[in-house]
Chains A and B, each alone.
Chain A
């Protein structure tokens, strides 16, 4: 496995006029990882992806892809790349099979057999005209177009947005299949955390124009916990759990999400606050909400 980062952002900023969307993104994505890019609507996920692909020019800092500057990608790098935009736009008069043949002609490594397999797996009719396809079907076609040449790096912008649950599951399965050999890298943006939990090895959380967290999903789940504190006496209104992402107080009890916690500190707090503290696991959605609300 090659360990140099496949995707690299260094102090990357992007503004549109006076509107600053990305405010210094630092991100290093190792080869073989499956990274879910999480962020609320309007957090700049698409902008970041477009900068990383060289479809948008960064305002300052660097965007690097496959060891090349994203803005000046070589044909060789582009051949190793698959991209599914949020909205798939294709010639409306073409037929599905024609679109695939047309795209395939650009790639040496185009895998006709794999494309047919995906078409039948997702119950797509090659004879159908693009203008007659539903949004979900268009998105599936976009995914097949991006996967047909077995890209080393696959980037998907909200791939699951217009798919039904069955389609989403099927897409996730294809991503998993693709990453079995652990040489392929996948970056996909989403705001549906459950999609991510099954397939992602890593999570990147984009908030306020910077990457607030990047790391292994398991480590995130292992470190962020919710404390449920119930005291014998009323808690002060300015009660704060040290280093908490957020503290909520309600009379004698409080809850707080903390980024890391150890038994010793808990014991110490229990004595200090005359309280019982229970520790709860949080799933990704809980963690995401804790980071964003309040």
Chain B
């Protein structure tokens, strides 16, 4: 049997993480890695659904969430395009989203018994390790 494989995306249906969230997280990861760049088009909903063999509604849900988050924009008749980094949103909005992402990590850090300084040093190290 011919197995279709998507070069970019991969999902595990039997994971506890809903499939739409897996797709959404992977878009973020691909952006972080530089594989996806501002201005790139995401695969069409139909295309990605058939590649991953999942329900189209699942893919369109992932895309809608990314649109709400300001990561991609819907181009009429073309599909979803990755937005420029600022995404046209205010600094406050972008900071608020970052804070939302950080909160669970901080919660975990506290659980692990790390001090504020220790957590900050981890963040600094991660930032330094990032390729420019």
Contacts and interface: CB of A to CB of B under 8 A. Distances in A.
Interface string B30-53: 000000000000000010011001
A50 B27 CA distance: 43
A176 B49 contact: yes
B68 to A, nearest CB: 15
A281 B15 contact: yes
Given A166-B1, A172-B53, A201-B55, A218 B61 contact: yes
B107 interface: yes
Interface residues of A, number: 32
Nearest to A200: B55
B58 A176 contact: no
A179 B15 contact: no
A199 B55 contact: yes
Interface stretch (A12-20, A84-92, A124-132, A282-290): A282-290
B57 A283 contact: no
Q: Range of interface residues on chain B?
A: 20 to 34
B54 A286 contact: no
B87 interface: no
Contact of B56 (A166, A182, A193, A286): A182
Q: Most chain-B CB neighbours within 10 Å: which of A170, A194, A218?
A: A218
A201 B58 CA distance: 8
B72 interface: no
B16 A280 contact: yes
A180 B56 contact: yes
Contacts, number: 65
A217 B1 CA distance: 29
Given A172-B53, A218-B20, A278-B111, 20 more contacts: A34-B55, A176-B49, A176-B53, A179-B55, A179-B56, A180-B56, A182-B56, A197-B13, A197-B19, A198-B53, A200-B55, A201-B57, A201-B58, A218-B21, A221-B17, A222-B18, A276-B111, A281-B17, A282-B16, A283-B15
26 contacts: A169-B53, A172-B53, A173-B53, A176-B49, A176-B54, A180-B56, A194-B13, A194-B14, A197-B14, A197-B19, A198-B55, A199-B55, A201-B55, A201-B57, A218-B20, A218-B58, A218-B61, A221-B16, A222-B18, A222-B21, A281-B15, A281-B16, A281-B17, A282-B16, A285-B14, A286-B16
